[in-house]
Amino acid sequence: MSKVVYFSRMFQAVPHLAQVASQLPGTFVTTRSSTLKATRHLYPALDSARFVRWLGPFSQGARLLKNADVIVTGSPYRSFLKNFSAKKCTVFHGTYMLLSKHALLANAHFDLLCVTGPRMQQMIQRFASEIQVNTVRTGFLPFCEFPVATAEHRERTLGALNLDPSLKTVVYTSSRRSIGSWDLVAEQLVRTTPASFNLVLRPHPSQSLTSRRIDRASFRRVTQLAASRPNTLVDLTAQALSSLQSVADLLISDANSPAEESLFYDVPQLFIETPIFGAEAMRTMALREEMHPDDIAQLLTLFECGRRQFVDGPMNFAQSIERAILDAPVYASRRQEYFSWVFGERDRCAHKRAAQAIKTFLLS
């Protein structure tokens, strides 16, 4: 029987590796005790072990990696993986809006790359004359754990969050602190979103998990404001983002990965643009990453999937929210086209396709 080992230092990749392991059994190995503890708690059915460097060949993780036929991971780990003779595969689990040549080179040592959809495959093919890699389009692994958006799920989820299931729900997800709109938008949303909506505010993990003093002060102000507004939640990543996306009737964002992912549920969009980030800033970033002009043009069609609102100071969001929901059907075909370009299949089967690709290309 072939020996498959799943490896990651960080827990971030574990849910997606576990999905593949459910179809292609193997053992998960990590170098970190915290990752091992979390994995055993959340995925008890997944065999797991730790690689302890100072134990050398006596470490269970070291033995597993040494004897593996295939090592599957979700990050490059080039210097670590070169010590093992197994064939190697990476399963991408981010949306990779801006896939640079540098990022692809960092993954060129893998025998197989399981890519998330047509966009990533298209971007990789742009570099085919310079970088030779084997790819299979398997889909977006996080979708495997996205909840089914039934009426029962909506009522149960909103009820658990102390929100009103009878109201439409607005979810705001900002980008990282250097380009995100949180400081301009969060308080104003709490102040001006009509009372006929549930409101969920979700700062970027770079702020909520590793917050600076200025971020903590902002969260306190927004949380205090939220306490005076019924049906309002400030979520500092306590909830799974997919749960919030599954109950959203409108997603307000900085045109980021959560916006792309929410298209799985065909959620109407409202895009915030500010003096530091918008469509032109995204174009500049893409040019800096040396993306192909055609890829940049398609990337910017994200802003055509919903209404856009420029914000450079205090404003009332009531009309923008109402209009974005009312106009959602106008943008429906654009949302579908963009989703198909980024992700391809709208299903929860990426783990099955990834497992089959590994069997076909690395184990046969």
Q: Which residues of the chain have pLDDT under 50?
A: none
Measure the CA–CA gap between 170 and 164, rounded to whole angstroms.
Answer: 12
Token pair in block for residue 47: 């065999």
Which CATH code of 3.40.50.1360, 3.40.50.12580, 3.50.50.60, 3.40.640.10 fits the domain covering 149-343? Answer: 3.40.50.12580
Token pair in block for residue 130: 């310079």
Is 344:260 a contact under the CB 8 Å cutoff? no
Is 172:320 a contact under the CB 8 Å cutoff? no
> Cα–Cα distances in Å, from 198 out to 92, 236, 354?
33, 17, 37
Place of tokens 């990050």: 75
- The confidence score (pLDDT) of residue 170 equals 98
Measure the CA–CA gap between 96 and 104, rounded to whole angstroms.
Answer: 11
Token pair in block for residue 175: 């980008």
Please classify residue 191 by burial: count the beta carbons closer than 10 Å to its beta carbon, then call 0-12 exposed, 13-18 middle and 19+ buried: middle
Is 174:252 a contact under the CB 8 Å cutoff? no
Domain limits, the chain: 4-144+348-363, 149-343
Q: Which residues contact 259 (CB under 8 A, 6 or more apart)?
A: 173, 251, 253, 269, 271, 302, 305
Measure the CA–CA gap between 186 and 109, rounded to whole angstroms.
Answer: 42
> Cα–Cα distances in Å, from 277 out to 281, 299, 310, 339?
5, 15, 10, 22
The CATH number that domain 4-144+348-363 falls under is 3.40.50.2000
- The confidence score (pLDDT) of residue 43 equals 95
Residue type, 280: E
Q: Do domains 4-144+348-363 and 149-343 have the same CATH topology?
A: yes
Q: Which residues contact 1 (CB under 8 A, 6 or more apart)?
A: none
Tell me which long-range contacts 314-321 makes (C-beta under 8 A, separation of at least 24): 314/188, 315/188, 315/192, 316/188, 316/192, 317/188, 317/189, 317/192, 317/193, 318/192, 318/193, 318/194, 320/270, 321/170, 321/193, 321/194, 321/197, 321/250, 321/252, 321/270
* pTM strictly above 0.85: yes
Measure the CA–CA gap between 285 and 291, rounded to whole angstroms.
Answer: 9
